[in-house]
Structure 1
Amino acid sequence: MRAFLILHGWGNFRPPGHWQYELAAALRERGERVVYPQLPDAQQPDLSAWREAAAAALAEASEGEARVTVIAHSLSAMLWLGARPDDTEAGSAVERVLLVAPPSPGYLRENPEVAAFAALEPTRPAAGTRIVASDADPCNPEGAVAVYAEPLGIPLTTIPGGGHLTPASGYGRWPSVLDWCLDPTATIVPR
């Protein structure tokens, strides 16, 4: 059995039209098990509360020994890199992780609402983790290659000119992410 855990970013209230909302709907339409929680206080995120909510969501997704694919965008990608739930609590359930548009610590420090997340020390995730990021992300001006992919040894797919990979930058339905969820060999490409 498999399940999908979708974690949103800062200021995201899971709006229709966002690629994560559309992904959750498309996976559910195919009969997949999806856990897509509203993380607490998305406008003023608290690191401890988000970590606890992510841990609870992972536990829910992994019920029945499900193999979990995590899809985290923006601030949740940083959360996963630096404060991910202890996978042993969920029976080593995480099989694959897609980190989309993780913001840089420098960007986080510049924004008081999320500055606490900048103190997280990203650690090398388990095999099966990959990053998808734009080469023009205002939330990571240093670039995902330099900040995360190279130092942590995480495979990276670069989306040219994709901004922060939000609806404002054209990322509503994103068919190749759905394809990747259903088939780990699928390639993620620009929308």
Structure 2
Amino acid sequence: MSTYLLLHGFENRRPPGHWQHWLAGELRARGHEVRYPQLPEPDAPRLADWLDALTEHGTPPNDGDRPEGEFVVLAHSLGVLLWLHAVAAGRAPAADRVLLVAPPSPRVAAGIPEIAAFAAGPAADALTLALAPVKDTARLVHGDGDPYCPEGADRAYGIPLGLDMDHVPGGGHLNPGHGFGPWPAVLAWCENPEVRITAREG
């Protein structure tokens, strides 16, 4: 069985209606280990505190605890920026696979005082170098019409960083407000990395 680490976004207190909450339950029911921590002060997050929490919860199980299976990270929204900062700082967990879902654009994040520090960081070329060892394991999932990334996450992140990408038509921010509570396609990807995430259904 595999281990999954779910990283939530800004102002997210892990509500039952969110696809990550649903996914955590589905994965646990299948016998997987799931880590879905409440990151500190989600309404006024501090990057340093979130990086510390990622370090705390992101240590993969050792071989004695998990003789088989993958360590998989699924980050949504501000959780994606957290993971990118961790990569650039050499603090990202050693994951077998990473799913980066609906990151806010640097311009939008910089305009929100509570999360502006997450927007400030290494330039795209530096991130590209930092991601080089892991980009083959990372996939970006984005929807069109995302108000938090109006230029499109493919342009803001996917193309500059050379990431594998899945596009969900009409997906918006890929959150409950855009209809993403249960999300069978992500569950299907968790258990089969060949699955493309292009809709709600698997």
Give the TM-score normalised by the residue count of structure 2.
Answer: 0.87
Structure 2 residue matching 1:16: 3-state secondary structure: coil
Structure 2 residue matching 1:4: 3-state secondary structure: strand
Aligned equivalents of 2:24, 2:103: Cα separation in 1: 20
What are the superposed Cα offsets for residues 135-181 of structure 1, whole Å, 9 maximum, x if unpaired?
11111111111111111100111111211111110000000100000
Structure 1 equivalent of residue 100 of structure 2: 99
CA contact (8 A) 2:169 2:198 kept: no
Quick check: 1:176 aligned with 2:177? Answer: no
Structure 1 residue matching 2:96: 3-state secondary structure: strand
CA contact (8 A) 2:4 2:35 kept: yes
Equivalent positions of 1:160-171 (< 5 A) are 160-171=169-180
Structure 1 residue matching 2:73: 3-state secondary structure: strand
What are the superposed Cα offsets for residues 113-133 of structure 1, whole Å, 9 maximum, x if unpaired?
000001122523312100001
Structure 1 equivalent of residue 5 of structure 2: 5
Count of residues paired in the alignment: 186
Structure 2 equivalent of residue 21 of structure 1: 21
Aligned equivalents of 1:30, 1:2: Cα separation in 2: 10
State, as a whole percentage, how many aligned pairs show the same letter. 47
Residue 85 of structure 2: which of 82, 86, 91 is its match? 82
Partner AA of 1:28 in structure 2: R
Aligned equivalents of 2:154, 2:37: Cα separation in 1: 29
Structure 1 equivalent of residue 43 of structure 2: 43
Aligned equivalents of 1:50, 1:164: Cα separation in 2: 21
- The two structures, once aligned, show a CA RMSD in angstroms of 1.6
Structure 2 residue matching 1:44: 3-state secondary structure: coil
Give the deviation of 1:83 after TM superposition: 2.3
Quick check: 1:143 aligned with 2:152? Answer: yes
In structure 2, stretches of 5+ residues that fail to align are none
Give the deviation of 1:82 after TM superposition: 2.3
Give the deviation of 1:41 after TM superposition: 0.3
Return 141-150 or 99-108, whichever deviates more.
Answer: 141-150
Give the TM-score normalised by the residue count of structure 1.
Answer: 0.92
Quick check: 1:114 aligned with 2:118? Answer: no
Structure 2 residue matching 1:168: 3-state secondary structure: helix
Partner AA of 1:112 in structure 2: P
Partner AA of 1:187 in structure 2: R
Q: Runs of 4 or more off by more than 3 Å in structure 1? A: 84-88
Structure 2 equivalent of residue 73 of structure 1: 76
CA contact (8 A) 1:87 1:94 kept: no
CA contact (8 A) 1:177 1:188 kept: yes
Aligned equivalents of 2:121, 2:174: Cα separation in 1: 22
Structure 1 residue matching 2:146: 3-state secondary structure: coil
CA contact (8 A) 1:83 1:120 kept: no
Aligned equivalents of 1:159, 1:100: Cα separation in 2: 11
Aligned equivalents of 1:163, 1:2: Cα separation in 2: 29
Aligned equivalents of 1:120, 1:35: Cα separation in 2: 27
Aligned equivalents of 1:104, 1:82: Cα separation in 2: 14
Aligned equivalents of 2:81, 2:158: Cα separation in 1: 13
Structure 2 equivalent of residue 64 of structure 1: 62
In structure 1, stretches of 5+ residues that fail to align are none
CA contact (8 A) 2:142 2:153 kept: yes
Give the deviation of 1:189 after TM superposition: 2.4
